[in-house]
Amino acid sequence: MTFRRIRILLLLGVLAAAVSLTWLEQSLVRSWRAPLDVAVIPINGDGSQQAAETIRTLHESDFDDINAFLEREAARYGLKLSPAMQLTLLPALDEQPPAPPRDGSVLKTIYWSLQLRWWVYQQSGQLLPQLGTVKLFVLYHAPQDGVALEHSLGLQKGLIGVVHAFADPRQTRQNNIVIAHELLHTLGATDKYDAEGRPVYPQGYADPELPQLMPRRAAEIMAGRLVNAAGRLVMPPSLEECVIGSMTAHELNFDEGFRRRFGGGD
C-alpha cells in the first residue's frame, strides 16, 4: 500500500471519528434524560473597564432565568425537567475566539468553524474533548449609543456558542434571551426570522394560530423579536415573554425525549 493511500485512509478515519463523536454528543444532549451541562465562559469583548467590572461581579444565579425558561417550556410539551440545565460559570478568558468571515463564503465559513472548534479545544486545557458540555463564550461590551453588537452565533457541531452581550446590569435579562437563543442553536434549533429580522409566519410567532397582523406580547425564542401593538419590531424585556414554538420543540427533540423518558406513543 502506497503512502498516499495510507494518508487517505488516515484522513478518512479521522473524519469518521469526528462524525461519530458529533452524533454521540448530539444523542447525549438531545435525549433529555439528564440536565444539560452548560459552561459559561465570560470574555472582555472590548477591553473596557465596564466590561471588566461586569465580569468580576457575575454569578451563576445571573443565568437562572434561562433554566426557568427551559423548564417552563419543556413542561408545555409534556417533558418535565428539573433542573433543565446545570450551569457552571468558569473563569474569564483573556483571549477572544476567532471571528467569523464577513463575506459569507462557504469555504471560509467551514475553515472558520474548524478554527473555532480547535480554539475551544485549546482553551479547555484537557486532552480529551468535553463531550456533552455546551460551551457558551459570552463577550461583554460597554454599551455605546447607536452602536449595535456583533451577531452572536451557536454551532451544533461542538456545542459552541459565541454570544455578544451588553456589560450593563440593566441588560441582564435581555442578554439571557440572546444566550438562550444561541444555546438552543447548539441543540439543533434554527432561526425563525427573515433577512430583515422579522419573525417568519407562522413558525416565528408565539400563538401562531392567531392572525399574522395581530400584535403579540410574547416572542418565539428563535425569532427573538415580536411585533407589538404599535406595529414595531421589538425585543421582549425578558425570557418570561418568550416561548418555544412547536417547530423549535421538534428540532430540540422534545417529542422524542418525551417518548424515551415516559414511554408515550406516537
State pLDDT tens for residues 94-136: 999 999 888 778 888 888 998 999 999 888 877 666 778 999 9
Using the CB atoms, write b or e for 67-91: b if 16+ within 10 Å.
bebbbbbbeebebebeebbebebee
Supply the pLDDT for residue 234.
94
Supply the pLDDT for residue 21.
58
Supply the pLDDT for residue 265.
47
Could you give all domains of the chain from N- to C-terminal order, each with its CATH number? 3-189+250-262 (3.40.390)
Using the CB atoms, write b or e for 121-139: b if 16+ within 10 Å.
beebeeeeebeebbbbbbb
Whether pTM > 0.85 for this model: the answer is: yes
Angstrom distances, CA of residue 18 to CA of 118, 154, 157: 13, 19, 10
For the chain (266 residues), the mean pLDDT of every run of 10, in chain order, is 63 51 69 92 96 97 97 92 94 94 83 90 75 93 88 93 96 97 96 94 93 92 93 94 96 77 54
Supply the pLDDT for residue 220.
97
State pLDDT tens for residues 221-247: 999 999 888 888 999 999 999 999 999
